[in-house]
């Protein structure tokens, strides 16, 4: 025991002598390092830090400003200015990492000796030999290689940084750069992750605990090892008291103060609405590229209304259960709701059964045959010629059409024919032959061109079977296209993003709606009137809403029962719902859009419209007046 004490005394004496020697020779060493700088001309130019923008997390919000998700790559960070960081945190970090930061010029030779002396006295590592500036340049420019060359390069770069930047600028860069464990970089992200508060609001006790994490983030962070983190907090507070930066009373109170850790750290927090986030990211990447989305610190205001999104997800899950109970053999469902007045997507369901089980987003990625829900595009094209109206008659008789060396012979769903029938009635009961006759009359190329104008970009061929929905499209495309009908012919860009700002608050994307009249208002009014008949006395009668508000829409079922749809709209919402199986297997015979999809659609719409006024569809005279005022 005595021998041990004598040994420690000898070591301390040696360290004390070393301290004196280093302090005397400090200036000489610093001068030597300046000389060595000449031999390190290939080192990075530290002036690049003037424009340095560290990788920063992108934040995605709903239409009302509620946070939906944080998106980042390897680095999870939110950069904030120094004046938004707690003074307690600044002092605690400096006390532990570089107490003489404001007095040295990047390299502190005497600090190395001080660190040896302090650490030997404490029996543990309280101080490191590197200055805070050296730590910064090592993190930004160098590797963790343990060598004399790397250490000298670190010193040279640190001195260069001190010549270019102020102390506060260096401290700000450091506190935003440092890794704090648990996939958190920077003071703000660490504060939010561990304590669910901003770095500006950290107490002395919390700041001291964070400062104690830096030397070994994986081992010392309070989530992985609270006992060790608490011990480290005490060391930081002791050091602050020793330096005279806090009083003994503050030291004691901070040690005794209970620490409340966040229940769920933000670093590994999943999106509140994963299918929505996935689709938003895809749209962002198309606009800005993947690197900017993951590292650019964007602030994204989406068009999604989380209240409506919750209704959509709840309705979809109820629908999935009902489909199973009714023996439909349909395991998947997608839903997209668009505001016709803006083109904004208000809710999106990319699948049911859990995102973790299957990340395939059927709302935007699944191209499925639309069945008879495609027919409105054909009928609008016919109405727009001026030769047809809702009460025009069309022939519902057997027909065979040359198709190469063979003939294509379409039939109606029930195998019967009605002869002469009004367009209104043909749409209401979803007859196939009239749709094909009108498609041939107006030209399938023109139908495809209309679809492109409405925003449907999926591959589409002008084949004879096109009016029966042989083309594969996504629910997003269809909901956006029907939204143009709901608005009276006005098209706004169908989007999930309202506005994006960069890390500095500059607007880099503004999707403020700019509706353009792209369709004939009279033809649109005729089409909506016709599609209302589907709901009042056709295949979609189950879509009638309890409050009696106007509804137009079209059921759709493929002949092999692989897909079933209902796409319908009110003046406030255009909603497409699809059911089926990812492997294209057949559902049960008789699973039609009218029988199985319409009830799900109605339930969603009744919930979505609760509290909204009953509105009427636009009429051509009002649209004409609006256009005259615009011009």
* 573-597 residue pLDDT tens: 999 999 999 999 999 999 999 999 9
Q: Is the pLDDT of residue 618 over 70?
A: yes
Phi and psi at 629, nearest 5°, equal: -65, -35
Give the tokens for residue 341: 């007045």
Using alpha carbons, select from 277, 349, 346 the residue that is nearest to residue 315. Answer: 349
Report percent pLDDT > 70 for the chain: 89
Residue 221: domain span? 2-42+76-256
Q: pLDDT band at residue 114, thresholds of 50, 70 and 90?
A: low
Give the per-residue pLDDT at 10. Answer: 35
Q: Which pLDDT band holds residue 117 (cuts at 50, 70, 90)?
A: low
**DSSP E strands, 188-344:** 299-302, 332-338
Helix axes 432-442, 444-454, angle to 10 degrees: 90
pLDDT-derived band at 97, boundaries 50, 70, 90: very high
Q: Which of 56, 78, 86, 97 is catalytic?
A: 97
Mean pLDDT lowest among 51-65, 130-144, 357-371, 617-631 = 617-631
Are 67 and 273 in contact by the 8 Å Cβ rule? The answer is no
Task: Determine how β-strand 332-338 pairs with β-strand 67-71.
Answer: unpaired
pLDDT-derived band of residue 34, with 50, 70 and 90 as boundaries?
A: low
Average pLDDT, the chain: 90
Q: Give residue 21's pLDDT.
A: 46
Question: pLDDT tens digit string along 480-492?
Answer: 999 999 999 999 9
**Confidence tier at 403 by pLDDT (50, 70, 90):** confident
In a domain, residue 267? The reply is no
Classified as helix, coil or strand, 595 is: helix
Least reliable range by pLDDT among 14-23, 88-97, 211-220, 243-252: 14-23
Q: Is the pLDDT of residue 128 over 60?
A: no
pLDDT at 33: 52
Query: Is residue 18 a part of any domain in this protein?
Result: yes
**Who wins on pLDDT, 158 or 310?**
310
| pLDDT, mean of residues 10-30 | 45
Distance of alpha carbon 236 from alpha carbon 241, whole angstroms: 9
Does 24 have pLDDT greater than 60? no
Cα–Cα distance list, 475 to 334, 335, 480 (Å) = 7, 7, 8
Provide the percentage of residues in the chain whose pLDDT is more than 90. Answer: 78
Residue 455 DSSP class = T
Question: How far is 144 from 126, CA to CA, in rounded Å?
Answer: 20
CB 517, CB 627: distance < 8 Å = yes
Report which of 358, 389, 373, 287 is spatially closest to residue 582, judged by C-alpha positions: 358
Out of 372, 373, 465, 487, pick the active-site residue.
Answer: 372
What is the Cα Rg of the chain in Å?
34
Quick check: is 588 in a domain? Answer: no
- Please say if the pLDDT value at position 620 is more than 50: yes
148 located within any domain = yes
Domain membership flag for residue 144:
yes
Name the pLDDT band for 269 (thresholds 50, 70, 90).
confident
In the residue annotation, 372 being an active-site residue is answered as yes
Other CB atoms within 10 A of residue 451 CB: 22
Least confident of 206-210, 268-272, 391-395, 492-496: 268-272
Other C-beta atoms lying within 10 Å of the C-beta of residue 603: 17
Q: Could you tell me which residues come within 8 angstroms of residue 551 by beta carbon, excluding any fewer than 6 positions away?
A: 532, 535, 543, 544, 545, 568, 569, 570, 605
Lowest mean pLDDT among 39-48, 64-73, 170-179, 529-538: 39-48
Tell me which residue of 162, 200, 195, 179 sits closest to 81, measured CA to CA: 200
Look at residue 81 and tell me if it is in a domain. yes
Tell me which residue of 587, 112, 562 sits closest to 368, measured CA to CA: 562
Residues with Cβ within 8 Å of residue 339, at least 6 apart in sequence:
303, 346, 483, 572, 573, 574
- Whether 395 is in a domain gets the answer no
Neighbours of 286 (CB within 10 A): 10
Beta-bridge mates of residue 71: 58
Instruction: Specify if 269 maps to a domain.
Output: no
State the CB neighbour count (10 A cutoff) for residue 188: 22
DSSP type of residue 185: B
- 313-329: average pLDDT: 97
Supply 53's token pair: 């923008």
Tokens of 334: 């997608």
Instruction: Give me the helix-helix angle, 87-97 and 132-141, nearest 10°.
Output: 90
Closest by Cα among 210, 198, 185, 181 to 77: 185
The answer, yes or no, to whether residue 125 has pLDDT greater than 60, is no
The residue among 248 and 114 whose pLDDT is bigger is 248
Of all helices (H) and strands (E), which one includes residue 600? helix 598-608
Q: Where is average pLDDT lowest: 183-192, 234-243, 558-567, 616-625?
A: 616-625
Q: What is the CATH number of the domain that holds 244?
A: 1.10.3810.10
Cβ contacts of 618-625, under 8 Å, gap ≥ 24: 618/487, 618/488, 618/521, 618/525, 618/571, 619/488, 619/525, 620/488, 620/521, 620/522, 620/524, 620/525, 622/488, 623/488, 623/489, 623/490, 623/517, 623/521, 624/521
Angle subtended by helix axes 248-256 and 226-242, to nearest 10: 170
Question: What DSSP designation does 376 have?
Answer: H
How many independent structural domains does the chain possess?
Answer: 1
Question: Which of the pair, 366 or 142, is modelled with greater confidence?
Answer: 366
| Unique residue bearing structure tokens 């339930």 | 603
CA-closest candidate to residue 85, choices 162, 190, 156: 190
pLDDT of residue 379: 98
Mean predicted confidence (pLDDT) in 59-66: 97
């Amino acid at each position: 025991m005595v021998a041990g004490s004598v040994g420690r005394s000898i070591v301390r004496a040696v360290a004390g002598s070393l301290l004196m020697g280093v302090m005397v020779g400090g200036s000489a060493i610093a001068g030597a390092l300046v000389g060595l700088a000449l031999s390190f001309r290939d080192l990075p130019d530290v002036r690049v830090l003037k424009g340095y923008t560290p990788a920063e997390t992108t934040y995605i919000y709903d239409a009302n400003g509620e946070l939906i998700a944080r998106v980042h790559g390897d680095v999870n960070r939110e950069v904030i200015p120094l004046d938004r960081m707690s003074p307690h945190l600044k002092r605690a970090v400096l006390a532990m990492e570089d107490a003489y930061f404001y007095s040295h010029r990047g390299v502190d030779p005497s600090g190395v000796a001080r660190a040896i002396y302090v650490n030997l006295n404490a029996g543990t590592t309280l101080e490191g030999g590197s200055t805070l500036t050296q730590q910064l340049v090592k993190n930004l420019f160098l590797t963790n290689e343990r060598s004399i060359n790397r250490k000298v390069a670190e010193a040279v770069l640190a001195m260069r940084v001190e010549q270019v930047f102020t102390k506060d600028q260096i401290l700000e860069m450091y506190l935003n750069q440092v890794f704090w464990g648990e996939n958190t970089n920077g003071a703000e992200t660490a504060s939010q992750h561990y304590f669910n508060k901003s770095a500006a609001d950290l107490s002395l006790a919390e700041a001291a605990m964070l400062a104690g994490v830096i030397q070994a983030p994986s081992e010392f962070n309070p989530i992985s090892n609270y006992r060790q983190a608490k011990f480290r907090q005490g060391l930081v507070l002791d050091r602050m008291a020793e330096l005279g930066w806090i009083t003994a009373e503050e030291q004691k109170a901070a040690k005794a103060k209970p620490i409340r850790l966040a229940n769920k750290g933000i670093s590994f927090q999943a999106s509140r609405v994963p299918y929505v986030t996935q689709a938003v990211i895809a749209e962002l990447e198309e606009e800005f590229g993947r690197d900017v989305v993951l590292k650019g610190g964007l602030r994204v205001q989406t068009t999604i209304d989380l209240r409506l999104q919750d209704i959509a997800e709840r309705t979809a899950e109820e629908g999935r259960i009902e489909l199973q109970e009714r023996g439909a053999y349909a395991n998947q469902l997608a839903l997209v709701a668009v505001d016709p007045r803006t083109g904004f997507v208000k809710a999106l369901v990319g699948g049911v059964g859990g995102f973790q089980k299957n990340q395939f987003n059927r709302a935007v990625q699944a191209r499925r045959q639309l069945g008879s829900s495609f027919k409105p595009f054909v009928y609008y094209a016919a109405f727009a010629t001026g030769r047809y109206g809702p009460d025009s008659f069309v022939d519902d008789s057997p027909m065979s059409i040359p198709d190469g060396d063979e003939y294509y012979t379409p039939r109606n769903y029930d195998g019967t024919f009605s002869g002469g029938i009004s367009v209104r009635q043909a749409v209401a009961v979803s007859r196939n032959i009239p749709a094909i006759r009108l498609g041939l009359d107006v030209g399938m190329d023109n139908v495809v061109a209309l679809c492109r104008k409405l925003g449907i970009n999926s591959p589409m061929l002008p084949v004879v079977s096109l009016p029966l929905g042989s083309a594969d499209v996504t629910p997003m495309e269809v909901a956006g296209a029907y939204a143009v009908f709901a608005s009276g012919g006005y098209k706004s860009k169908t989007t999930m993003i309202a506005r994006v700002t960069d890390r500095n608050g500059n607007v880099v994307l503004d999707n403020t709606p700019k509706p353009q009249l792209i369709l004939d208002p009279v033809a649109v009014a005729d089409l909506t009137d016709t599609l209302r008949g589907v709901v009042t006395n056709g295949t979609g009668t189950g879509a009638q809403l309890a409050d009696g508000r106007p509804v137009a829409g079209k059921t759709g079922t493929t002949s092999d029962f692989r897909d079933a749809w209902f796409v319908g709209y009110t003046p406030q919402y255009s909603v497409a719902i699809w059911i089926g199986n990812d492997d294209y297997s057949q559902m049960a015979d008789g699973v039609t859009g009218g029988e199985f999809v319409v009830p799900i659609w109605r339930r969603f719409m009744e919930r979505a419209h609760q509290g909204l006024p009953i509105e009427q569809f636009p009429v051509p005279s009002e649209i004409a007046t609006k256009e005259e005022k615009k011009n």
